[in-house]
Structure 1
Amino acid sequence: MDPAVVVSIVAAALTKANGAKATYRIVISQGSQPMLQVENIDLHYGAAQALKKVSLKAETGKVTCLMGRNGVGKTSTLRAVAGQHGISAGKILWDGEDISSLPAHARARKGIAIVPQGREIFPLLSVKENLETGYAPIPRKERFIPDTIFELFPVLKDMLSRRGGDLSGGQQQQLAIARALVTRPKLLVLDEPTEGIQPSIIKDIGRAISWLRDQGTMAIVLVEQYFEFARDLADDYAVMDRGEVVLSGTGADLSETEVRRYLTV
């Protein structure tokens, strides 16, 4: 799916010749500019270099999979994108705008939502309260939980009053994704969402990611070591090793043999 700007003319419904109301949906192509463009970034923790000339892109309506072993720089790349750690070289573009110096809260307001590795839900808050923590970066008039969330993860609707810490690992992962969706993101970043999750919920998460991609309203970056899960979802991919991107391309060109070399220990 090519990136597009979707203009929905709903309030200003036009009147047909016979007086009936009609609504129109206009799709205007905006070329190939990615929503997110990471260009040759370096990142250091003190004197230690964690990233070296890393480049990555994420386009609206597509899933970009970032793969690699533990400790090769995947999470550091996400921290750089989210503004949680500054970069020492290169730049990060958001819809063509350089956001390299923007703090994390300003990037969240622009529409960047992170689902962190390990979920990081609030165990003592209820499911509903956990979802409401996603209100922080959005205007007051948009502070409600979309019905779409319960369509994607129906189990959460029956658990709104239950404490987050009482949910299973898979249910907590669904809650973490749902919390990110409450922010109405333009970029959804998921850091190893299948880690420690039972197979049935992995399938549910995969279906949710596919559905979100197909709506064409957000770009998705999926950090993953589970090859089959990433392969089935990837429109584009990049593989990291020792802080660098060593392979990249489209999902159609993804070679299992080549990628698995960088996933096995």
Structure 2
Amino acid sequence: MSTLLSFDNVTSYYGATPILRDFSFEMEKGQCLCVLGRNGVGKTTLMRTIMGLTDRSSGAIRINGVELSGQATHVRAKQGLGYVPQGRGILSNFTVRENILLGTFARADRSGDIPEICLRIFPYLKENLDRRAGLLSGGQKQQLAIARALAVDPQILLLDEPTEGIQPNIVHEIGEILMMLNREFGISLIVTEQHIKVARKLGDAFLMVDNGRVVARGPMPEMTDELIERHMTI
């Protein structure tokens, strides 16, 4: 397998405060990497650092060997990054169609159409393209956020707490959709997740974060109960 994304001694800041410190890892093409840890340890900052949304960072971030450090967020998106932020970031006054089309602005091919994959995977959205996004349920908004990120035509889909605040039956549905995107469509995933069960089912590999540092990583079968106890229980 070839390395798709790499972090080499990355330190990422808000203001003068380093949130990630000497952060290093590699991700292989086609992988689903689950990032775990307690609240406030730097998981969201990792996602925002990949997208260039923190105040500044040092160290090297590469996608397919191309250096991303110093690149604007829209340039990174064109390298193949789709982002589903925590809280989803849906524009409530826009329609479903308009929200999805926002993702197409970062496509390398500059296509202005809704990609077929978005409509195929999310039939509810296909049937409600002219519905105002603010009227959707939490689970439907999460589907819309994923569809918007897919409209970028990403190599890597970044999902920050995709099951947070969603009913248990919808959590299962979102997990199934993510597995399909990864295993059938070959899209690499980085998922921050609090649900251990979801992470174990979804992920090929894990990254355990504590206090802004990588404290453990490896194939998912190596994520032991002892590691979870040490770095995730409060």
TM-score tier after normalising by the smaller chain length:
over 0.9
Provide Cα deviations, 1:153-200, integer angstroms capped at 9, x if missing partner.
222122211111100111100100011001110110000000000112
1:215 has 2:184 as partner: yes
Q: Percent identity?
A: 39
- Counterpart pick for 2:31 among 53, 62, 68: 62
Give the superposition deviation at 1:69: 1.1
Q: Output the CA distance in 2 between the equivalents of 1:101 and 1:49.
A: 17
Q: 2:18 maps to what in 1?
A: 49
Is the CA contact 1:41–1:87 (under 8 Å) kept in the aligned structure 2? no
Q: 1:98 maps to what in 2?
A: 67
Provide Cα deviations, 1:85-115, integer angstroms capped at 9, x if missing partner.
2544321011012211211111011111110
Q: 1:186 maps to what in 2?
A: 155
1:251 has 2:220 as partner: yes
Is the CA contact 1:66–1:239 (under 8 Å) kept in the aligned structure 2? yes
Is the CA contact 1:33–1:96 (under 8 Å) kept in the aligned structure 2? no
Is the CA contact 1:115–1:180 (under 8 Å) kept in the aligned structure 2? yes
Name the SS for the 1:247 alignment partner.
strand
Q: Output the CA distance in 1 between the equivalents of 2:156 and 2:46.
A: 14
Q: Output the CA distance in 1 between the equivalents of 2:110 and 2:62.
A: 28
Q: 2:172 maps to what in 1?
A: 203
Q: Output the CA distance in 2 between the equivalents of 1:221 and 1:140.
A: 24
The structure whose RCO (Cα within 8 Å, separation 6+) is larger is 2
Measured at CA, do residues 213 and 144 of structure 1 come closer, stay the same or move farther in structure 2, by a change above 3 Å? same
Q: Output the CA distance in 2 between the equivalents of 1:38 and 1:171.
A: 33
Unaligned runs of 5+ in 1: 1-31
Q: Output the CA distance in 1 between the equivalents of 2:55 and 2:24.
A: 15
- Counterpart pick for 2:40 among 71, 74, 85: 71
Q: Output the CA distance in 2 between the equivalents of 1:83 and 1:152.
A: 29
Aligned alpha-carbon RMSD (Å) = 1.6
Q: Output the CA distance in 2 between the equivalents of 1:215 and 1:138.
A: 21
- Counterpart pick for 1:112 among 61, 70, 81: 81
1:237 has 2:213 as partner: no
Provide Cα deviations, 1:109-149, integer angstroms capped at 9, x if missing partner.
11111100000101001111111111111256632222322
Is the CA contact 1:34–1:59 (under 8 Å) kept in the aligned structure 2? yes
Q: Output the CA distance in 2 between the equivalents of 1:251 and 1:141.
A: 37
Q: 1:14 maps to what in 2?
A: none
Q: Whose Rg is larger?
A: 1
Give the superposition deviation at 1:231: 0.9
Q: Output the CA distance in 2 between the equivalents of 1:159 and 1:127.
A: 7
Please report the TM-score for the alignment, with normalisation by the length of structure 1. 0.83
Q: Output the CA distance in 2 between the equivalents of 1:141 and 1:224.
A: 32
Provide Cα deviations, 1:188-228, integer angstroms capped at 9, x if missing partner.
00000000001121111111111111135322100111111
Provide Cα deviations, 1:7-38, integer angstroms capped at 9, x if missing partner.
xxxxxxxxxxxxxxxxxxxxxxxxx3321111
Q: 2:126 maps to what in 1?
A: 157
Number of residue equivalences: 234
1:146 has 2:115 as partner: yes
Unaligned runs of 5+ in 2: none
Q: Output the CA distance in 1 between the equivalents of 2:130 and 2:144.
A: 13
Is the CA contact 2:139–2:166 (under 8 Å) kept in the aligned structure 1? yes
Q: 1:264 maps to what in 2?
A: 233
